[in-house]
């Protein structure tokens, strides 16, 4: 009986058939019209912030008193403020400040909160107790009051306002990461990594952290919107950006007494805050739907 030879044919899988979770999430995000609208709003303000010196027709800190509180016109699209400064130019430059404060304060919160959350959730015991109690104490205070207290101690300035906003948002990301670590550290792939002698630092960075990125990204995106509102609130109270910096909240505060005589000095900064926050909230909702498996059909 002749020997039969069985030839194995290698299985060929097209690259198109292998879809990473992030690529799949991007495809789902592109189908979300509201999320794309939010992304468009954010990109618009980013372009405005980057090219502010080109877009703004006048210096944001120079004005003429003879042009005080002039209504919108061809010469001044958004009118002028109580010092005769061009409101459009100040709104354009204000996009730089708001996006800068919102983005970098959230980055600081994410980094600090992630590190503390990883340590608390993975090691537990007294480390978890200490970090969790610190978070509980910080969350016991209204966030804006805690930010006011921090800025009052450090002194009113834009940099101190950024630091205060970063500090008050640390517990949000810390508790989020801690809860993810508590659920992931008992998974089989983590237990297998421990069994082969992998170091805790490698387990945290190569296994637990990558599987926690989705909720961090979603919360961080929405956190930028919250940070922009908090920066505007501090600026409105005179604890954020100082004159002549054109921060939107500070612009609202300086113009509130002219709201009846020159409403455009309040309307345009307020609309800028609203649209920016709306954009980040829309893209945040879209990211949540795209990255959360429970939201998929």
DSSP 9-71: PPP---GGG---HHHHHHHHHHT-HHHHHHHHHHHHHHHHHHTHHHH-SS-TT-B-GGGTTPP
pTM of the complete model: 0.84
Residue 7: inside a domain, yes or no?
A: no
The answer to the question of residue 159 being in a domain is yes
Q: Is residue 5 part of a domain?
A: no
pLDDT band at 30 (very low <50, low <70, confident <90, very high): confident
Could you tell me how many residues make up the chain?
297
CA 20 to chain centre: 25
154 membership: H or E segment, kind and range: helix 143-154
Q: What is the pLDDT of residues 82-116, one digit of tens each?
A: 888 999 999 999 999 999 999 999 999 999 999 99
User: Residue 16: is its pLDDT beyond 70?
Assistant: no
Domains in the chain: how many in total? 1
pLDDT confidence bin for 296, thresholds 50/70/90: low
| For residue 70, pLDDT beyond 90 | no
pLDDT single digits (tens) 129-177: 999 999 999 989 888 899 999 999 998 888 999 999 999 999 999 999 9
Q: What is the pLDDT of residue 8?
A: 45
Segment 68-74 shows an average pLDDT of 87
At 237-291, the pLDDT tens digits run 888 888 888 889 888 888 888 888 889 989 999 999 999 999 999 988 888 877 7
Q: Is residue 24 part of a domain?
A: no
Within a domain: 15? no
For residue 130, the model assigns a pLDDT of 93
Within a domain: residue 9? Answer: no
- Domain range for 43 is 31-295
| Cα 249 to Cα 7, 8, 107, 169, 255, distances in angstroms | 73, 69, 21, 19, 10
pLDDT at residue 169 in the model? 93
Domain assignment of residue 10, yes or no = no
Is residue 25 one of the residues assigned to a domain? Answer: no
What's the rounded Cα separation, in Å, for the pair 71 and 79?
4
| Residue 55 belongs to domain with CATH number | 1.10.3720.10
């Amino acid at each position: 009986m002749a020997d039969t030879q069985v030839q194995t044919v290698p299985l060929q899988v097209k690259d198109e058939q292998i879809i990473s979770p992030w690529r799949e999430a991007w495809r789902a995000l592109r189908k979300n019209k509201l999320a794309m609208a939010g992304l468009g709003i954010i990109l618009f303000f980013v372009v405005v912030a980057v090219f502010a010196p080109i877009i703004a027709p006048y210096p944001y800190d120079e004005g003429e008193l003879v042009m005080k509180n002039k209504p919108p016109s061809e010469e001044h699209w958004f009118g002028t403020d109580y010092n005769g400064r061009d409101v459009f130019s100040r709104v354009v430059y204000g996009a730089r400040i708001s996006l800068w404060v919102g983005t970098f304060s959230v980055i600081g919160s994410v980094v600090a909160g992630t590190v503390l959350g990883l340590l608390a959730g993975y090691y537990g015991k007294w480390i978890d107790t200490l970090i969790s109690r610190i978070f509980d104490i910080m969350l016991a205070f209204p966030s804006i009051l805690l930010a006011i207290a921090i800025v009052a101690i450090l002194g009113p300035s834009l940099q101190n306002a950024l630091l205060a906003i970063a500090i008050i948002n640390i517990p949000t990301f810390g508790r989020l990461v801690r809860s993810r670590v508590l659920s992931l550290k008992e998974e089989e792939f983590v237990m297998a990594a421990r069994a082969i002698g992998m170091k805790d630092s490698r387990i945290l960075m190569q296994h637990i952290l990558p599987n926690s990125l989705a909720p961090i990204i979603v919360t961080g995106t929405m956190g930028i919107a919250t940070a922009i509102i908090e920066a505007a609130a501090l600026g409105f109270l005179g604890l954020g950006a100082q004159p002549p910096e054109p921060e939107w909240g500070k612009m609202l505060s300086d113009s509130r007494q002219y709201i009846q005589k020159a409403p455009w000095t309040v309307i345009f900064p307020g609309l800028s805050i609203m649209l920016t926050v709306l954009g980040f909230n829309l893209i945040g909702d879209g990211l949540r739907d795209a990255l959360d498996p429970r939201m998929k059909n």
